[in-house]
Amino acid sequence: MKTRQPVGWVYLLVAYFTSCSAFYLPGLAPVSFCETASEDCQSQIELFVNRLDSVESVLPYEYDMFDFCKDVHEKRPSENLGQVLFGERIESSPYKFNFKEEVKCKKVCTKSYKAADKDDVAKLDFLKMGMQLNYQHHWIIDNMPVTWCYEVEEGQRYCNPGFPIGCLVTSEGKAKDACVINSDFNKRNTFYVFNHVDIKINYHSGDSESWHGARLVAATLEPKSFSHADENNLNCETGEPKEVPVDAKQDVSIVYTYSVRFEEDVHIKWASRWDYILVSMPHTNIQWFSIMNSLVIVLFLSGMVAMIMLRTLHKDIARYNQVDQGDLVKLTPNKEKSFLPYEDAQEESGWKQVHGDVFRPPRKGMLLSVFLGQGTQIFIMTFITLFLACLGFLSPANRGALMTCAVVLWVLLGTPAGYVSARLYKTFGGEKWKTNVLLTALLCPGIVFADFFLMNLILWVEGSSAAIPFGTLVAILAMWFGISVPLTFIGAYFGFKKPAIEQPVRTNQIPRQIPEQSFFTKPIPGIVMGGILPFGCIFIQLFFILNSIWSHQMYYMFGFLFLVFLILLITCSEATILLCYFHLCAEDYHWWWRSFLTSGFTAVYLFIYAVHYFFSKLQIIGAASTILYFGYTMIMVLIFFLFTGTIGFFACFWFVNKIYSVVKVD
């Protein structure tokens, strides 16, 4: 029996790792397809359609708004909270294929618009608006975007996870957007509808693998335009494009068709099937340049802080603590003791002279403690969300998971917010604990919700698919008041129950007069300068984030983002510590609010960059889209302000406690 026991453990380990190999992240399990359906293999491939969006408008619209071909038995897959908040509206389509069954020029439906019918005219005008603003289809096959791949400059291949519904040639003869791909699109003042798609589906066969059937690894298409004069004799190879005049006054009929073919690809694995989309976005070199640029800033700031901590402060503290009976003991280079008057030592460093006022409670301590509580909640939420994204749990394939995770974490992290706010408020000497808890739970979330609600009203008036349903708004309010607010009260209870944070030095009863400050040590110039370096570390990453939000590009570089997040933490902390030390040396002891605002001012630079991005990079037109852009930007700025301000405050709080805790003050 003794000789067989290790073998038994080996079998257990093999069984364990075998079971682990079958584990997939939620929503990412592969689906097998066969020519004949079975229990573990499907034969029919369904194509789902998502909302349509445009880089020229913030307003997305549902597929049905454009009067395209509809599924007879329409169904909508269940959507998570993140998908609803992002405005995704996924539904089934009439495009259905059988695995390995090729189709050529199959008719889907015919849409007719009569010039005498007001409803038809309105539908056609809406379709024209979509083509004029370059609205894009977003189709999904097997939870994978159907991409439109085409050649760009220098022979580079670009794959776009959307394709246009049509394009416009202006009255001046200028081909806009996708009209440049076809020389036949040359008639002025004319719309060209992409009413045909050639779909190619690549699959990886399981014949040489450990699984049955085949798995889809790529889905691409090519949009085309054909007039289809004879519906009984369709030709999807050659023919005149489908034209819709801008000022069309006659009846219009549009025939929608498609072709599909299958192609085996043994080189692409199912686990890496998104790579062909991501490879066409070669931003890696730019990302590494950004990281190296940020690291140089971090090394510079770290050197400055180290110089202060190891040389200036170490020297000051060592000499200051050797004061004995009014004299200062100093070691000469010959290691002999010499004595300097204590008054001379006091004049050497101004930070020592304000030890009796440095922990004096700040003005508006209630508001500062509320901001810090909310900032702590946002910081923990952001850290956990980015960490899970780096592990692959929140990949683009798992739709809506990123937003869902962030919202759920924010709701569940009410306890740290209440605890930090209450503990600091008690340290500041505050006694209105009920007001403190209510403001922590309601102030900043209330501002965000009010902004969000106003933006949602605009979306609802415009008929956009991004408008949040009333039931979802009620659910969000229920999570806020039913979970987050009670958890905030629980955290505040434990925060007030504990004693106030003990200060290393006593505070004088009479405030010390602050001497005249130079320009660079005054509050406003110091705060303005404090946000420059942290923003310099993130602005390149910020460009890609704004592209993913407003230009509908896919964001997947969460490893880079997490690294930049850590660099931002270090930069905000070190920049705030440096400026805090300079202000204390200038005998200005008002560091509480200044430490928060110094790093928090990075959010102002974020807003300025967002304004620059709007006018230089985007092509957004319309008052509603402009209001929506800046409305959502203000939410981002507020969250970023609380996040960075909290980082700077706690870094400075640690620094001040550290230097004054080793100073012996009578």
Question: pLDDT of 493-537, one tens digit each?
Answer: 999 998 888 888 887 888 777 777 777 778 888 899 888 888 888
What is the model's pLDDT at position 278? 65
Residue 164 has pLDDT above 60, yes or no: yes
Cα separation, 591 vs 582, in Å, equals 11
In a domain, 63, yes or no: yes
Q: Which residue has the higher pLDDT, 321 or 201?
A: 201
Residue 35 has pLDDT above 50, yes or no: yes
Cα separation, 396 vs 400, in Å, equals 8
Q: For the chain, how big is the Rg over CA atoms in Å?
A: 32
Mean of the pLDDT values across residues 322-332? Answer: 46
Residue 329 has pLDDT above 50, yes or no: no
Highest mean pLDDT among 142-146, 154-158, 333-337, 634-638: 634-638
**Helix, strand, or coil (residue 548):** helix
Q: pLDDT band at 25, cuts 50/70/90?
A: very low
In a domain, 323, yes or no: no
Cα separation, 301 vs 289, in Å, equals 19
Output helix, strand, coil percentages for the chain, rounded to the nearest 5: 50, 15, 35
In a domain, 646, yes or no: no
Q: Which of 270-279, 307-316, 494-503, 567-576 has the lowest mean pLDDT?
A: 307-316
Q: pLDDT band at 452, cuts 50/70/90?
A: very high
DSSP-derived secondary structure for 441-453 = HHHHHHHHHHHHH
In a domain, 247, yes or no: yes
Residue 334 has pLDDT above 50, yes or no: no
Q: In total, how many domains does the chain have?
A: 1
In a domain, 650, yes or no: no
Whose CA is closest to 163, among 52, 281, 273, 46?
A: 52
Mean of the pLDDT values across residues 366-384? Answer: 96
What is the model's pLDDT at position 663? 60
Residue 272 has pLDDT above 90, yes or no: no
Cα separation, 184 vs 173, in Å, equals 12
540: which residues sit within 8 A by CB, 6+ positions away? 286, 287, 289, 290, 293
Residue 597 has pLDDT above 80, yes or no: yes
In a domain, 30, yes or no: yes
Whose CA is closest to 618, among 604, 598, 632?
A: 632
Domain that holds residue 150: 26-280
In a domain, 228, yes or no: yes
Q: Which residue has the higher pLDDT, 619 or 285?
A: 619
Cα separation, 557 vs 580, in Å, equals 34
First-last CA distance in the chain: 75
Q: Give the count of alpha carbons within 13 A of 666, CB side only.
A: 7
In a domain, 191, yes or no: yes
Angle at 633 between CA 412 and CA 60, to 5 degrees: 90
Residue 7 has pLDDT above 50, yes or no: no
